[in-house]
Structure 1
Amino acid sequence: MKLLSISIAAYNVEAYIEDTLKSIVEADCIDDIEILIVDDGSKDRTAEISKKYASLYPESIISISKENGGWGSTVNSSIVEASGKYYKLLDGDDRVITNNLREFIEKLRFCSDDMILTPYVKFYEGTDKSEEVELLKTKIDRSICIEDFEDYEDICMHGITIRTELLKKNWLGLREHCLYLDNVFVANCLLCANSIRYFDLAIYDYRIGRAGQSIDVNSYIKHFDDIEDASFDVLSLYENFEGKQKVKKMIAYRAKAILTTLHVIIYAMECNSSNKKRLIHIDDMVRMKYPEVYKLMQNRIVKTGRLFHYSLYPFICKMIHYKFKRDYR
């Protein structure tokens, strides 16, 4: 059995996918890794490059081509095919940190915990700038029961590796033709994990600043309905979960994260009465149906809008528009 299945969501990433794959195969531990490249109906050479690497490493790389179904569909497909001991996501324009991967694999060899958390690195396209992002405020060097885990506010997809068999058995699936489902994936993982271990070893190298990237503000606005759908998916998981209260609160934090993004993006959209009503409607719905999630939303922008009953909506819109123009010019 391979020790790690890496699922790569690949859509029109011909300029990046080779760099992504090299970052894995050059770590000198390819025999312990299964790479599942899921080409999501790309229109460029993504599938061709993927198949080339699959032919070079037939025991380790599987190239899957499918009709376009969105990011969630690539995850759904790879989970069905994954056979490694652990499972990790990687986007086709990102990389792993080659120098750390072999040590990570050796740690997995002797690990039996359900979920592994690691820091990750943000690197900025076209610059030499990078920064390591810690998931935990206090590092833990032992296995810990999820009920005893307190430091869960910043858990994200980039820092998660989960036991494959456990994920397969409990996988609820992600909606297709939808972006921004990473928090839904995280919530799915939290629902099934009983034990967590932290390795102070950054594995995921997350690219920031690529033109057309999903975290670009224009992409956020264009795909606002996807963010809204993803937030409702997390809220549904939260509402229907009847297990441990600590896990329920963890899912509440994932809902808080995506709903906060939702607020900010509405302010970044055209400033009009329709968008203002949309913002108030969503916030009222969360306040009435999910009061715990509502209280967790302590972002300064969210709090300011609520404090003044959204009378400052035009001012906050101008402030957000200025910020995005400054940051993305």
Structure 2
Amino acid sequence: MPLLTVVVPAFNAAAYLHRALTSLKHAPTTVEVLVVNDGSTDTTAEIADSFASQFPDTYRVIHQRNRGHGGAINAGLDAARGTYFKVLDADDWFDADALGALLSLLRDMESGGVDAIFTDYVHERAGKANRTTSFRVALPVGRRFQWGDTEP
């Protein structure tokens, strides 16, 4: 069973899907990647199928009629085999070091008792300044906590 399932909801994502999927190409076998082609009319399906064909132990593709972003995530959730679940939008990608750190943390916490992990991220927007999102202000860093331990 995979440790982490990464679901990539993709609707007409041909322009950037390759980058998202390539960022996971060297992930360890403890990661499964589910691309949900959400009724795309461009070459999204072909790109996703190519990765699944080349790397069948890592990538799987779900083709469905368009059900929207949430419907694509739900389809991925239904098919997920991993202990943990992560959504990676088709226009985003993983930094290899950050993915390694996340997987190390998940392995350490696999014994249970963890419902969610919050990670900082950078939202790169075409033609606009990048926006960094950090949870350090509101959530304790580097330890398990309960909701009562958070800042209002």
Q: Normalising by structure 1, what TM-score?
A: 0.43
Alignment of 1:208-223 (within 5 A): none
Distance 1:78 1:29 in 2: 18
Q: Deviations over 1:91-124 (max 9, x none)?
A: 1112122331112111111113111111111223
Q: Could you tell me which amino acid in structure 2 is paired with residue 121 of structure 1?
A: V
Q: Are 2:22 and 1:18 aligned?
A: no
- 1:132 CA drift (Å): 2.7
Instruction: List gaps (5 residues or longer) in structure 2.
Output: none
Counterpart of 1:143 in structure 2 is: 144
- 1:126 CA drift (Å): 4.5
Alignment of 1:221-232 (within 5 A): none
Distance 1:13 1:2 in 2: 26
Distance 1:11 1:63 in 2: 13
Q: Deviations over 1:135-159 (max 9, x none)?
A: 231542211123x23236xxxxxxx
Counterpart of 2:81 in structure 1 is: 83
Compute the RMSD of aligned alpha carbons.
Answer: 1.7
Report the 3-state secondary structure (helix = DSSP H, G, I; strand = E; otherwise coil) of the residue aligned with 2:49.
helix
Distance 1:91 1:21 in 2: 10
Q: Are 2:103 and 1:102 aligned?
A: no
Q: Are 2:94 and 1:62 aligned?
A: no
Distance 2:27 2:103 in 1: 8
Distance 2:125 2:65 in 1: 31
Q: Deviations over 1:47-66 (max 9, x none)?
A: 00000000111111111101
> Number of residues paired by the alignment?
148
The answer to whether the 8 Å contact 1:20/1:95 transfers is yes
Q: Could you tell me which amino acid in structure 2 is paired with residue 109 of structure 1?
A: R
Higher helix share: 1
Counterpart of 1:34 in structure 2 is: 32
Report the 3-state secondary structure (helix = DSSP H, G, I; strand = E; otherwise coil) of the residue aligned with 2:78.
helix
- 1:31 CA drift (Å): 1.1
Q: Once the two structures are aligned, what percentage of the paired residues are identical?
A: 31
Q: Could you tell me which amino acid in structure 1 is paired with residue 143 of structure 2?
A: R
Distance 2:40 2:106 in 1: 33
Q: Could you tell me which amino acid in structure 1 is paired with residue 9 of structure 2?
A: A
- Between structure 1 and structure 2, the one with the greater Rg is 1
Report the 3-state secondary structure (helix = DSSP H, G, I; strand = E; otherwise coil) of the residue aligned with 1:135.
coil
Distance 2:14 2:85 in 1: 24
Q: Could you tell me which amino acid in structure 2 is paired with residue 42 of structure 1?
A: S
Distance 2:151 2:6 in 1: 26
Q: Could you tell me which amino acid in structure 2 is paired with residue 67 of structure 1?
A: R
Distance 1:73 1:12 in 2: 15
Counterpart of 2:71 in structure 1 is: 73
Counterpart of 1:118 in structure 2 is: 119
